[in-house]
């Protein structure tokens, strides 16, 4: 699993001009699923993200989690996170999970996040979407994980 996480003051996702997901303060999550990903990998990623302490406390230290600040999540599927650009100028996406598997894990990941965060919004899997955000910081983290753990990239 690959994630681009952005701390936001607000974010929204629209399909065909209609907003289908909107959050206030929290994280915009762009989620990529690979062929090898499992529910165990999704569990670890959800746990890591929802417990990350990257909101500032009263002393200006990044010491607070989503729960500490009443934060929200907007999760958008992003198979292009598995683009391979090593050969030529046209990306290959063979490392991305099949649409059925990726959608299943995308839905599962959302469910896991709801165990931590009351408001979890999402995009529409496979749709052409427009994402708007007001990045806070900016603060962006790239995470990669499998059933064994999570690392920053």
- What the block records as the tokens of 57 is 């406390």
Catalytic residue numbers read: 78-80
Cβ atoms 76, 29 nearer than 8 A: yes
- Say if residue 106 is exposed, middle or buried (CB neighbours under 10 Å; 0-12, 13-18, 19+): buried
* Nearest in space to 113 (alpha carbons), one of 20, 59, 45: 45
Please name the residue that has the structure tokens 């729960």.
67
**φ and ψ at 103, to 5 degrees?**
-65, -40
When mean pLDDT is compared across 82-86, 103-107, 110-114, the lowest value belongs to: 82-86
Residue 16 CB coordination number (10 Å): 10
* Pairing of the two strands 18-23 and 120-122: unpaired
Check whether 106 has a pLDDT greater than 80: yes
pLDDT of residue 94: 78
Q: What is the mean pLDDT of residues 37-42?
A: 95
Q: What is the mean pLDDT of residues 16-28?
A: 97
pTM of the entire predicted model: 0.93
pLDDT digits (tens, 9 = 90+) for 61-102: 999 999 999 999 999 999 989 888 888 898 888 788 888 999
Check whether 13 has a pLDDT greater than 90: yes
pLDDT of residue 151: 80
């Amino acid at each position: 699993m690959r994630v681009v996480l952005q701390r936001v003051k607000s974010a929204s996702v629209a399909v065909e001009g209609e907003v289908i997901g909107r959050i206030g303060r929290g994280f915009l999550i762009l989620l990529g699923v690979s062929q090898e990903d499992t529910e165990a990998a999704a569990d670890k990623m959800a746990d890591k993200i929802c417990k990350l302490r990257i909101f500032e406390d009263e002393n200006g230290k990044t010491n607070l989690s989503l729960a500490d600040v009443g934060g929200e999540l907007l999760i958008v599927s992003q198979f292009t996170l598995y683009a391979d650009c090593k050969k030529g100028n046209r990306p290959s996406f063979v490392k991305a999970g099949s649409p059925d598997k990726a959608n299943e894990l995308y839905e599962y990941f959302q469910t896991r996040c709801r165990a931590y965060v009351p408001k979890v919004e999402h995009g529409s899997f496979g749709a052409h979407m427009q994402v708007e955000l007001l990045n806070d910081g900016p603060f962006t983290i790239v995470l990669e994980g499998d059933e064994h753990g999570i690392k920053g990239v």
